[in-house]
Amino acid sequence: MQVSKKMLALAGVAVVSLASAPAFAHHSFAMFDNQKNVTLEGTVKEFQWTNPHSWIQLVVKDPATGKEVEYSIEGGSPNGLSRSGWKRTSLKPGDKAVAVIHPLKDGTNGGSLVSVSVGGVQIGGARS
């Protein structure tokens, strides 16, 4: 059975489109309010040193209710973080931390990491 050039071209376009879709979807920061900074003081529950982005799970006291709530904070890639001074061990469960984030636009507990400090010492460089 012969495959036409047109069929090969269509198959090639489909493969390239499917392969590039995750790259386009991955880099959107539209969900964060980059015009606003929120400072959170809490306790590190978990630091995930993973690709494509690291994550900090920070437990903070909700000022309105007094209850503890967990924030999921998206950081940079391990490669980018390590170039600015971070290590896999920079944050440990139980660390008291102050994080500055760009909050999620929908108001849920999360955001994009701007800076974080432990014991008054900033880890790595801050981003805007």
Q: What value does the mean pLDDT of the chain take? A: 84
Tell me the per-residue pLDDT of 40-88, one tens digit each, with 9 for 90 and over. Answer: 999 999 999 999 999 999 999 998 899 999 999 999 999 999 999 999 9
Residue 1 has pLDDT above 70, yes or no: no
Residue-range domain boundaries for the chain: 38-122
What's the CATH number for 38-122?
A: 2.40.50.140
Listed in sequence order, the residues at least 6 apart from 92 whose beta carbon sits closer than 8 Å to its beta carbon are 44, 47
What CA–CA distance (Å, rounded) separates 78 from 80? 6
How far is it, in rounded angstroms, from Cα 113 to Cα 46?
Answer: 15
Q: Is 80 helix (H, G, I), strand (E, B) or coil?
A: helix
Element (H, E) at 5: helix 5-26
pTM: 0.76
Mind listing the pLDDT tens digit for each residue in 76-92? Answer: 999 999 999 999 999 99
